[in-house]
Structure 1
Amino acid sequence: MFLIDGPPAGALAWGMTRAFADRPAVTVADAPGKPAPAVDTADAGLRVGGDLGAVPAHAAGAAPVGAAGAMPVRAGSAVPVGVAGAVPVRTGGAAPVQPAGAVPPRPATAAALDDLRRERADFLRRSADYYGDPHLPVDGTLVDRVLDSWYRMIAGEQDDDGLRAAYRDAVSVLMTRAAGALEVPLDDLYRANRGRIPMWAWPEPHHLVAGIRTPIPDGHEPEAATGAVRLTVGTVTVSILPDEEADDVRAGGRARDAGTRLDYTYELPAYTWESRKGKKVVTSFEPAVVAFTIRTRRRPGVRFPSPSKYGRGTTAEDLAGAKVDPYSGTLGFHEGQHGMDLVEFLRSHEPPAYPGKVGMTVRRFEGLRESWLAALHDYAEKAEELSAARTDRVGVPESEP
């Protein structure tokens, strides 16, 4: 039989899909305490929706308690054992068991597909309740197993509003618990796992638009005339420009296959003055105006779907996500993370204001121009340095030039 650990009685585990009806059943256990025969875990994992390689198999439908990789048992509480460690089972309750030889049929109708999605949404809602228990231990290994399992489950089912809402809520509960348990800021935890959480399930939902690698916040679309997406971030305006091809692409002082940069234009403050005792004195002025742009460039012949060579796209989290959606392991994904880094820097860091003041002489007021431009240059450099640390200096190290 397949042993499928599931939610409390009355709920079907999402893994019990009606898929792969053309595959023969696999018996994964003979008798209590007897090692199971060899199983094609990749094949079995497809049918139950998860990786069975780490799930101990036993007969009589009983999930082993205290096995390696399982969370410790507490009387009267749910124990997260089962497919990829992600499916909660109530202690003392019977997990749904698929009889030997009985492979669920492939859903053949729209109604059957709707039923399956409702079952998955119900599973996710129960999981959210389970992982919301403040007494449940949460660690990095559990988070990895659960996120990977849920991402496999949600793949290809991202247009169902009910399922999306249940998934988003379950991920939010798990990530909030994990952030507290691991003592990691919630934003940082989401950032590290962007490669295996769909963009629409991020705290601020995003999406991709044609021709731009940087993910775009929902509610914004490219301008018809320019193809650029304009955002107001904090007190500044940033335009995310369409990607372009360039013969010379440099970032961090090095030639690159692709790069994403923060650039800016500015207008010096307009001011009024009056003569006082033979001196021109500033009586009012408008703030300087700075407009930022973010653009990804690539060298001729470089393709964004090619694998990322270092940094984001090569982390364990990104590679896990790439098994479901290959985009998480690509150069395009890598450059998109740079773009998001830059937007986040603009949101959390005010650009330097022009330091002039009313009452200054015009000569002194205008003399502040160079120091302000130097501060603006440093501001952009800090943004790119932060992005390099987050996106380039993680995962596989960059090779020396």
Structure 2
Amino acid sequence: ILSMKIDWRNLEALPLSIIFDKLVERIDHIYFSAVCKNWYSIAKFNYQNRQIHNNVLPMLMVPTKGCRKKRSLYGISLKKNYNFILPVPCKKRFCGSSHGWLAKVDYSSKVTLITLINPFKDAVSITLPPICFMDRYRRSVHSEYDVHKVVLSTNPIFKPHDYVVVAIYSMRQCLAFLKAGQKTWIYIDDIHRLFNDVIFYKGLVYAVGLLNNIVSFDLSYLKDEKVIPKVVSLEGDDYADRVYLVKSLEGDLWLVRKFIDFPEGEDNIDPSRGTKRFEVYNLELDFQTGELIQMLQIDSLGDNVLFVGDSDSVAVSASYFSNYLHKNSIYYTDDFYGDTLPYPNGAFDMKIYNVKEKKFRQHCPYYHWFKGMPPAVWVIPPFQWD
């Protein structure tokens, strides 16, 4: 029997493309492209000419087994822990995951600093100017929760002089903005508060609060120290524990509301503690006046699968990932924090909620090394061609 030595590096484009098509997780695409120049060119061609460019599956950044200093990645498609260690603090909560960047908070000498970290680009970081708010709206402990969420308009690596940072900060959950190169933040008048999520949508920024209060503003006019936004929807009396804004695959703006149960016995891991249900609404907006025409609840997500948490809220295609994702579902992480220790046992309320069936499934098991650690967060490893 003659043995054949296969020249893997110089395989033809067709078999390499078939191999590449079988890979689902973004980190596997990165591994593929790192094999050699030939494999890199195939990966680049597929990203530039195929559906894959617009269909990226978020991964979970989780605590690392046997290492209390760094984080690793978990792929929900194959339910697999990847041996890809990220050089980021393991015991720090990240208040944002946006365009491949993470946001963390440091507090010293009564100054609150937000630092952006790119764990996929040699852990390069951007320290933003101090964000200012009154001490009575600052936490006496767990200062990393003084900033609730940070969202970027785009990847600073691609547009280093043309990106915007939005922060939800203080116990009043107010809004502040920072354009690239600015030395001070631009603050939204704090009569508008209790916000929980922000999205860049059709040239405007929209922010939503826990009482269905929604505001918008145009970034091109952000020049003053304080800005009064346009009110899209007034506060109601129907409180949700968490809310998110997400752009659907069809281009509509959706509001996702999350309701949480808090039974007694918080000291132990109790599967009944956590998310009770979600509600999803399609927001019909008048783009001439900026007002909300109607908010229509939907019981089917169509081809959309949603990912929410301490990260950008995103939608991906159920049909594209038909072998890996559950249809009509919301994949969520544990992003609730209170005045007491936020995660005494680790963040374990991470599940899949089927909007149509109103049932829960698991997407990542709770491992014992999650105990006492900050919550997992969705990340999308960027693929940069240079």
Asked if Structure 1 and Structure 2 have the same fold, meaning a TM-score greater than 0.5 normalized by the shorter chain, the answer is no
Q: TM-score, normalised by structure 2?
A: 0.27
Greater strand percent: which structure? 2
Q: Which has the higher helix share?
A: 1
Of structures 1 and 2, the larger Rg is shown by 1
